[in-house]
Amino acid sequence: MSQFKRGAAALGALSQSGGESAPKAEITKFKSGTTLKVRVKGPYDLVQYFAYGIFGKVNTFIAKNPPERNARGFVTANHTPWDRASQYYYDLAAKDGANADEYKNLGYQFKGKERFLMGFANIETGEDIIVDLTKAQAQGIYETILEYCEKDADGNVIDGGEHEFKDMAFKLSKKGTSTSTSVTLAPIINLAKGLTDEERKNFEATADSEFDASLFDSVLYESDEEEMIKALVKADFDISLLGLSIGGNSAPADEDVTPIGDETNAEDYDF
């Protein structure tokens, strides 16, 4: 997972405005209308990554050979086939003003989108879990976590500092649809009434343990270049436009390709 930003590094990305084998762990199903009772084990239990995929056509995956990105997350080199497909449409948008919005939307579909994995203890089961969130959702959750962290005079979380949430249970809830989906983290004020006997046992049992960060290493599916090309075909993209073919050698990925940015659709999509 060296291609991902973890912990404090992932927090930096979160605060900016701007697969050969099956996974050993799974991302917890967290559909709209779901509420999970959780414990926050620490302020650094998160990972930033960039996901590819199109809802209803191609399941979410990450690149086995990821592109190089600048500090803002824009692709600058080693473009994947999906990055090149995305840029193909953005280039068309720049040339064809009449259909620019349509091409920009298509470009957005194929670009890698920033997402975050966040780890919690599920006090309903006593197990560590991972939830997958858009950047906007993760920012909202982290704002709540920050409220209970010890901070220095500049408002930065003190590494190794005290955390008020050590003795707190929360409800992690998701509601809404499509781009209006929101995720909230709210404290359970009365543990005696808010938790069952079994949940209280699990809550106490997870009090002094750290989140198992190794779970992050195996929850995302990595696709190599050939798999990504096949996924483009599945997504109805004409790969010959990029000089690609199934089983053939691809054209140089970085010739005359400009960095991919957020030209459109700034919203985070759940896919």
Segment 61-89 mean pLDDT: 96
Most confident stretch, 19-23, 46-50, 214-218, 266-270: 46-50
DSSP 189: S
* pLDDT for position 249: 52
* pLDDT for position 9: 59
Right CATH for 5-242 from 3.90.198, 2.40.128, 1.20.120, 2.60.120:
3.90.198
Mean pLDDT of the chain: 85
Please determine, for residue 243, whether its predicted confidence score (pLDDT) is greater than 80: yes
* pLDDT for position 164: 83
Per residue in 158-200, pLDDT (tens digit) is 777 778 888 899 999 999 987 788 999 999 999 999 999 999 9
* pLDDT for position 8: 56
Of 28, 22, 17, 124, give the one whose Cα is nearest residue 73. 17
Per residue in 135-146, pLDDT (tens digit) is 999 999 999 998
Residues 6+ apart with CB under 8 A from 224: 64, 65
Please determine, for residue 14, whether its predicted confidence score (pLDDT) is greater than 90: no
Higher per-residue confidence, 246 vs 112? 112
Segment 253-260 mean pLDDT: 42
pTM of the model: 0.79
Please determine, for residue 257, whether its predicted confidence score (pLDDT) is greater than 50: no
Given pLDDT bands bounded at 50, 70 and 90, which one contains residue 269?
very low
Q: Which residues pair with 49 in a beta bridge?
A: 115
How many CB atoms lie under 10 A from the CB of residue 203?
Answer: 22
Torsion of CA 124, 125, 130, 135, to 10 degrees: 0
> What residue ranges do the domains of the chain occupy?
5-242
Report the C-alpha gap between 126 and 245 in whole angstroms: 48
Give the pairing type, strands 58-63 and 222-223.
parallel
Angle at 181 between CA 148 and CA 211, to 5 degrees: 40
How far from chain centre, in Å, is Cα 91? 26
Torsion of CA 227, 51, 250, 69, to 10 degrees: -150
* pLDDT for position 177: 84
Given pLDDT bands bounded at 50, 70 and 90, which one contains residue 233?
very high
